[in-house]
């Protein structure tokens, strides 16, 4: 007797595999057949990440290099660090002096006096060294985030593709940082209270970067992942970091208390 064969309508059909081939266009800066120049390809890529992230991440191929996306993220992050450092150097102690005057008007001592004296002690050589350290710190920060998020994406079952694809997802998630190249922190020279406006400017950009990372994890693995798993892969690392910081703080306070009691 022949084994039972279910009708075709009842046979299981796996979801489409988007890994090797996708109906969505791939990023122009990765596409070897893109007909435009580098600048136009970069502009199209940025626009797609920011305004059509779902279709953008669906278009990532397995057999593409992560070099273009890494160079893009590296340049953006280094640029943000350099502009921030330059603005802080040019403003000097102006912002801290203004904050100190506010505290003094409230009848309190200036809590920023030590910061002001430290900045005065930094000579031009130290300033150059700090600027040269920005690219190194950027690479280390990218590497740390890449390994951390990749481990949690695997632990939560949110990501099943290659490490190279995940790296590109992370690199493209830094795209909102482009708007941090605008030196809005210089507004604090006019009035230190503008620092709250600066925070309100930077906060949505950072949050959207996390959203893009979660969307990238999900939309590159629609068949195997879920929005909940992708969100957990992005949130759990920060929960772990916060718990470690809290535990360390509690231990330090307990140690100081024990020494004081002794």
pLDDT in tens, 149-170: 999 999 999 999 999 999 999 9
Distance CA 149, CA 213 (A): 9
Sign of the torsion formed by the C-alpha atoms of 182, 94, 204 and 248:
positive
pLDDT tens-place string over residues 111-150:
555 555 555 555 567 778 888 899 999 999 999 999 999 9
Residue spans of the domains in the chain: they are 23-261
Backbone angles phi, psi at 37, to 5 degrees: -85, 180
Distance CA 77, CA 134 (A): 9
The per-residue pLDDT for 11 is 47
Q: Would the pLDDT of 16 be above 50?
A: no
Distance CA 1, CA 244 (A): 64
Q: Would the pLDDT of 220 be above 50?
A: yes
Q: Would the pLDDT of 253 be above 90?
A: no
Q: How many CB atoms lie within 10 A of CB 116?
A: 18
- Closest CA relative to residue 224, chosen from 165, 179, 173, 157: 157
Sign of the torsion formed by the C-alpha atoms of 182, 185, 189 and 194:
positive
Tokens at 83, concatenated: 């502009």
pLDDT tens-place string over residues 58-85:
999 998 999 999 999 999 999 999 988 8
Rg (CA), the chain: 24
If one compares 127 and 44, the residue with the highest pLDDT of the two is: 44
């Amino acid at each position: 007797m022949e084994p039972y064969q279910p009708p075709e309508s009842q046979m299981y059909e796996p979801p489409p595999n988007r890994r090797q081939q996708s109906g969505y266009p791939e990023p122009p800066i990765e596409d070897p057949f893109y007909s435009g120049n580098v600048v136009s390809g970069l502009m199209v890529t940025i626009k797609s990440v920011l305004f059509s992230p779902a279709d953008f991440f669906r278009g990532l191929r397995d057999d593409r290099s992560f070099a273009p996306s890494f160079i893009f993220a590296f340049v953006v992050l280094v640029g943000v660090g350099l502009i921030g450092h330059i603005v802080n150097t040019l403003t000097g102690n102006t912002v801290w002096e203004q904050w100190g005057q506010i505290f003094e008007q409230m009848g309190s001592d200036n809590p920023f006096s030590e910061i002001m004296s430290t900045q005065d002690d930094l000579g031009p050589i130290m300033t150059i060294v700090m600027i040269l350290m920005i690219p190194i710190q950027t690479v280390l920060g990218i590497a740390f985030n890449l390994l951390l998020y990749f481990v949690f994406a695997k632990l939560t079952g949110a990501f099943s593709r290659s490490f190279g694809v995940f790296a590109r997802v992370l690199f493209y998630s830094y795209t909102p940082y482009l708007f941090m190249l605008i030196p809005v922190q210089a507004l604090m020279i006019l009035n230190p209270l503008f620092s709250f406006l600066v925070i309100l400017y930077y906060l949505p950009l950072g949050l959207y970067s996390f959203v893009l990372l979660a969307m990238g994890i999900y939309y590159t693995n629609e068949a195997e992942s879920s929005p909940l798993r992708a969100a957990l892969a992005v949130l759990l690392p920060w929960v772990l970091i916060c718990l470690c910081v809290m535990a360390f703080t509690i231990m330090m306070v307990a140690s100081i208390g024990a020494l004081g009691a002794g």
